[in-house]
Amino acid sequence: MQTRRSLVCLALLFAAASLARADDTCAPVVESGWIRQPPMAMPMMAGFAEVRNPCDTPVAIVAAGSPAFASVELHETRKVDGVSRMRHVESLSVPARGRVSLAPGGLHLMLMRPQAEVELGQRIAIELELADGRKLRAQFEVRRPDAL
Ligand SMILES: [Cu+2]
């Protein structure tokens, strides 16, 4: 009887361990990342991407960074009384099995003070940090100023 109980305990332990592992391997992905090259030399430019969360738990993006820029912020463009304004977004949630689009005219990454000249076609690594401490790294391709 004692043996059977410990076997059940063991089985439960293994089940818990495999559940935890399944959760560990599920991570949101950053797809189709690109940076719009400014029409002239400017101290900031915008980055766009799709963030897809295939997991059963929602996540929140709380920070971003890149070795190619002095700093990166999450921003949102909004029309207020017909005028486009940008605001800093503290936290951006991506629903379970959902996605969030960073696209021109809306949410974007504000890439501040490039550390070197940014060239057309160049691929730049940007990291998004989640509230749980995980980091999502993706390559962003530099496109023409009129890219949409
Ligand atoms: Cu901005």
What are the tens digits of pLDDT across the range 59-111?
Answer: 999 999 999 999 999 999 999 899 989 999 999 999 999 999 999 999 999 99
Residue 5 lies in a domain: no
User: φ, ψ for residue 67 (rounded to 5)?
Assistant: -65, -15
Structural domains counted in the chain: 1
* Residue 43 CA to ligand 1 centre (angstroms): 12
What are the tens digits of pLDDT across the range 38-62?
Answer: 988 889 999 999 999 999 999 999 9
* Residue 65 CA to ligand 1 centre (angstroms): 14
Residue 129 lies in a domain: yes
Cα–Cα distance, 100 to 143 (Å, whole number): 21
Residue 130 lies in a domain: yes
Residue 77 lies in a domain: yes
Token pair of 68, please?
A: 């190619």
> Residue 93: its pLDDT value, please?
97
> Residue 25: its pLDDT value, please?
80
pLDDT at 126 over 70: yes
* Residue 58 CA to ligand 1 centre (angstroms): 25
Which residue segment(s) compose the domain that 78 sits in? 26-147
> Residue 35: its pLDDT value, please?
98
* Residue 35 CA to ligand 1 centre (angstroms): 12
* Residue 113 CA to ligand 1 centre (angstroms): 13
pLDDT at 15 over 70: no
